[in-house]
Structure 1
């Protein structure tokens, strides 16, 4: 089942059945489940022999050979016949495509890395891999959350926008951040701590 095309695609647990071109010239890669463990009920861990139905899903994946591809997974819904099982039915899942996922884990990882490590702009990454801005940003924040501490260390000096006297009006006016407040660790090494809309609310929350 693991032919050369399957090895080239490299999605563990999935095997390439065939590849075709659609009307737009996009390569459509049809894959089937190649891991018998996907027939085990996730709650009871018992192998099911009761097929409910076959379905098609199209999780987004990385471009291949420089071009985007359409991944079509021919998968199955199974019944769990254990009377005590509350799940009743379940669908096949593999690590590269978790349950209810609309894109592969490697595509999500690549999108997040492009922003977090390569320092590319979210909108640029989204356009290059065919994803929306919120999806790419969520992938980036997930990677950041995994390596950043849960909260900032104690801050000795909290920085905020600067003010100076307007020579025309004689009044103190904010010179930066008129619509947003950027709060920074002035004497420490943590850099930007927060950026929120407005001024008073940001000060009150952080000083409290």
Structure 2
């Protein structure tokens, strides 16, 4: 695999390549319609909205960001379309009726001779490469599990996601919080919680019932703060 070594030149341009990395007018035109503003996904423009029989809405969108035509490997903007593709990323709910996104995107050829990548498909920060859900849906799901939903499964059902995707969203949401230093504890307390119901057994000789298992969980907690 070829290695492209590049250094930064003037105004953020990457040099050391055969072609420049400035915007070259790749044919992406901005159309800020009311429907696009209502959808609110940065870099996507609404082209058509369909209402199907069950009341669901199918929203057809196209790329509305020139940076999506830049090669992810070398940064050179492409003007050569190789083909087209359609993806169906999931997004946050809108009202009671379901909504389905249909992203009509393009595949571009990378004409930079020093770049090992031959072609690439449009992607955006709002919908990263190979992502099946939008960034904001992933964020909403992770925050919901941390603050509102009773379980990962409940959030997955609400947003129409699989359990692994919902769990990954939760982990991504809490990792920055867990990385922060914990403030010192001022008051230490003891918290006891019964784990399930006690189990009873009958003595075969006396016939009396006695507790066989009674599980309790004892934890040391921060009684005056929010450290757990």
* TM norm. shorter chain > 0.5: yes
Query: Structure 1 residue 20 and structure 2 residue 50: aligned?
Result: yes
Query: Structure 1 residue 69 and structure 2 residue 99: aligned?
Result: yes
Match of 1:158 in 2: none
Tell me: CA distance 1:125–1:84, structure 2 relative to 1, closer, same or farther (3 Å): same
Count of aligned positions: 178
Match of 1:200 in 2: none
State the alpha-carbon separation in 1 of the partners of residues 175 and 38 from structure 2: 32
Q: Residue deviations 1:9-38, cap 9 Å, x none?
A: 000000000000234331000000011111
Are the aligned partners of 2:73 and 2:115 in contact in 1 as well (CA < 8 Å)?
yes
Match of 1:139 in 2: 169
Match of 2:81 in 1: 51
State the alpha-carbon separation in 2 of the partners of residues 119 and 176 from structure 1: 27
Tell me: CA distance 1:187–1:13, structure 2 relative to 1, closer, same or farther (3 Å): closer
Give the 3-state SS of the residue equivalent to 1:186 in structure 2: strand
State the alpha-carbon separation in 2 of the partners of residues 82 and 67 from structure 1: 46
Q: Which runs of 5+ in 1 are unaligned?
A: 154-160, 192-208
Are the aligned partners of 2:61 and 2:103 in contact in 1 as well (CA < 8 Å)?
yes
Shift of 1:46: 1.2
Shift of 1:123: 1.9
Are the aligned partners of 1:76 and 1:92 in contact in 2 as well (CA < 8 Å)?
yes
State the alpha-carbon separation in 1 of the partners of residues 93 and 149 from structure 2: 20
Q: Residue deviations 1:150-171, cap 9 Å, x none?
A: 8999xxxxxxx99xxx996xxx
Match of 2:144 in 1: 114
After superposition, the CA RMSD in angstroms is: 3.3
Are the aligned partners of 1:16 and 1:31 in contact in 2 as well (CA < 8 Å)?
yes
Greater RCO structure (CA 8 Å; 6+ sep):
2
Are the aligned partners of 2:49 and 2:60 in contact in 1 as well (CA < 8 Å)?
yes
TM-score under structure 1 normalisation? 0.73
Q: Which runs of 5+ in 2 are unaligned?
A: 1-30, 184-193, 196-200, 204-211
Who wins on radius of gyration, i.e. which is larger?
2
State the alpha-carbon separation in 1 of the partners of residues 67 and 182 from structure 2: 43
Query: Structure 1 residue 104 and structure 2 residue 134: aligned?
Result: yes
Match of 1:80 in 2: 110
